[in-house]
Structure formats: structure tokens, C-alpha cells
């Protein structure tokens, strides 16, 4: 399979004009993005009240139509690989694998927390946070550069208080993601107790010191597409066989197994 993947990438070509379709089904709403290289051509934000299985293909078709391209023209497929909704992840990854196999195109999985951090902009230390259900969170500390995200620790499943105790000694942080916004009051109270300045950033404005809550990004598929393109440019060997979900924690079914 390794040689097949290399042939897929070489046959597709790595250039700045590659057409990319990125999808994000790890969160409740999710989204779809079509881009030509770094230029976004069309996006769709999903409806949290409607299942990904019901609307994903319709959103993909609508995005392609708005961008004025055909599915066969797409050079790379990308999807959020987790953590996130177990069902949503499976739907998104299965869709991208099917498209990749059918059209003999490469595909790539982007960790959801990488996309969360990327959506908040460049930072020496971003804490990406997503709701994990039952009041808990998925969380990870990342370094965000102009076109790359670097892991500073591993993704984890924590309670909000455990998250704050774990990162509470770090004086300069950017907090990003739906989970951070859900826990904004707890984060602010903790910062106050530790004597750390806490602010909620306006668009494109972030403080250099203290804790900053970045604006919430509703459509992570844009960051999925951007990060996938960067890795595609680097010549990374990619293919459907390597597209696996990052669950971080066991599913409820596994936890309840006798």
C-alpha cells in the first residue's frame, strides 16, 4: 500500500493550484470547504440539528457547485480525524475514504484539535478545547505557525478543573475552541485566582501576555483544508489506508462492556 500511496501523490501532482475538498464532521455542526491551494472557493457550515449522515453529501455537492468545479477535478480529500463525535468522525472519514478510493485520489486526516488551534491564528502556546460530553473536554497544547501546527503535548480527555490545574502554571496562553467558550467563566475565574490577566480577544486582536480567549470559529473545515494543503505540499505519503480516527477516549459502548 505504501508504494500505491506514493504513486497516487505523484500522479496527482503537488502544486499551488491543487483543488482540495475538506470536511469536518467531528463537531455538532461541522462544515465543508473547497479550496484551490490556499484560496478558499466555497464553504458550508452544517446545521447542528441535522445529522451529518443526512446532509453531508448535499453540502459537498452545494460547495462544489458554488466553487464551479466537478468532483473529478479534486486533487486531495481531507477530513477531521478526531477527537470529536464518534459517529460524526466515522461518517466523515468513511466519506473521504470512499471518494479517495473511487477517484484514485489521495486523502488525509487532520487532527480536530490542530484545526481548532489553527483557526485561532499564530501563537506560541494555544490550548485547543472541544466538548467531550458529560461536562468534560478534549484538550491539547499546540504551537501554531503561519502554515503548520506543532504538538506540545498529546491530546487528552479531562475534566475542566483538571485541564486548568494541568495548564494553570503557564502564564501566556491562547484558549481556542467551542470547549473553551463553554468553560469561559471557569477559565476566567481560575485566571483571576492565579493573578493572570484574562481577556476575550476581538477578531484578529490578541494580547502578547496573559490568557486570551480567541474568537469562536464556526467552520473548522477551512483550517482542515489549509493544514491538509500544507502537508500535501510537503510530499507526505497519504492514502485511504492511513486515514484513521483519533478517539482519545473509549466509546460509551466500550466503557459499558462487561
Residue 257 in domain: no
Please report the pLDDT score of residue 241 as a whole number: 85
Residue 140 in domain: yes
Q: Report the side by side order of strands in the sheet with 76-82.
A: 39-45, 31-36, 19-24, 76-82, 107-111
Instruction: Determine the structural domain holding residue 240 and report its residue range.
Output: 2-111+219-252
Please report the pLDDT score of residue 6 as a whole number: 37
Instruction: Note whether 180 and 247 are same-domain residues.
Output: no
Cβ neighbours of residue 8 under 8 Å, at least 6 residues apart? 104, 105, 106, 238, 239
Instruction: Note whether 107 and 145 are same-domain residues.
Output: no
Please report the pLDDT score of residue 236 as a whole number: 82
Helix residue ranges, H only, the chain: 2-12, 52-67, 86-103, 112-119, 160-167, 178-182, 184-194, 221-233, 252-256
Instruction: Note whether 7 and 72 are same-domain residues.
Output: yes
CATH value at residue 129: 3.30.420.40
Residue 43 in domain: yes
For residue 169, with 0-12 CB atoms within 10 Å meaning exposed, 13-18 middle and 19 or more buried, which class applies? exposed
Instruction: Note whether 142 and 203 are same-domain residues.
Output: yes
Per-residue pLDDT tens for 146-155?
Answer: 889 999 999 9
CA 113 to CA 223: how far, in whole Å?
10
Please report the pLDDT score of residue 242 as a whole number: 83
CA 148 to CA 26: how far, in whole Å?
20
Question: What's the number of domains the chain is made of?
Answer: 2
Instruction: Note whether 164 and 239 are same-domain residues.
Output: no
Residue 243 in domain: yes
Residue 205 in domain: yes
Please report the pLDDT score of residue 9 as a whole number: 43
Q: Which residues of the chain have pLDDT under 70?
A: 1-16, 203-208, 237, 251-258
Per-residue pLDDT tens for 39-90?
Answer: 999 999 999 889 999 999 999 999 999 999 999 999 999 999 999 999 999 9
Angle ∠(81,19,143) on CA atoms, nearest 5: 45
Which contacts of 37-44 are long-range, i.e. CB under 8 A and separated by 24 or more positions? 37/229, 38/226, 38/229, 40/222, 40/225, 41/66, 41/67, 41/68, 41/69, 42/66, 42/67, 43/219, 43/221, 43/222, 44/219, 44/221
Residue 116 in domain: no
Amino acid at each position: 500500500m505504501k508504494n500505491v500511496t506514493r504513486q497516487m501523490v505523484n500522479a496527482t501532482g503537488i502544486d499551488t493550484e491543487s483543488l482540495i475538498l475538506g470536511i469536518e464532521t467531528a463537531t455538532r455542526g461541522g462544515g465543508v470547504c473547497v479550496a484551490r491551494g490556499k484560496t478558499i472557493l466555497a464553504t458550508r457550515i452544517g446545521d447542528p440539528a441535522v445529522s451529518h449522515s443526512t446532509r453531508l453529501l448535499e453540502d459537498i455537492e452545494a460547495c462544489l457547485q458554488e466553487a464551479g468545479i466537478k468532483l473529478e477535478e479534486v486533487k486531495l480529500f481531507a477530513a477531521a480525524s478526531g477527537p470529536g463525535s464518534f459517529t460524526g468522525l466515522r461518517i466523515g472519514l468513511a466519506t473521504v475514504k470512499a471518494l479517495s478510493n473511487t477517484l484514485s485520489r489521495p486523502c488525509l486526516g487532520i487532527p480536530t484539535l490542530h484545526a481548532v488551534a489553527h483557526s485561532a491564528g499564530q501563537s506560541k502556546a494555544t490550548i485547543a478545547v472541544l466538548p467531550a460530553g458529560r461536562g468534560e473536554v478534549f484538550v491539547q497544547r499546540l504551537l501554531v505557525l503561519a502554515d503548520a501546527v506543532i504538538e506540545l503535548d498529546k491530546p487528552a480527555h479531562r475534566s475542566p478543573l483538571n485541564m486548568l490545574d494541568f495548564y494553570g502554571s503557564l502564564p501566556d496562553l491562547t484558549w481556542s475552541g467551542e470547549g473553551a467558550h463553554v468553560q469561559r467563566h471557569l477559565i476566567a475565574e481560575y485566571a483571576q485566582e492565579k493573578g493572570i490577566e484574562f481577556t476575550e480577544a476581538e477578531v484578529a486582536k490578541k494580547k502578547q501576555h496573559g490568557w486570551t480567549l480567541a474568537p469562536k470559529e464556526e467552520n473548522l473545515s477551512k483550517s482542515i483544508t489549509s493544514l491538509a494543503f500544507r502537508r500535501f505540499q510537503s510530499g507526505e505519503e497519504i492514502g485511504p489506508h492511513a486515514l484513521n480516527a483519533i478517539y482519545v477516549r473509549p466509546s460509551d459502548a466500550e466503557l459499558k462492556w462487561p
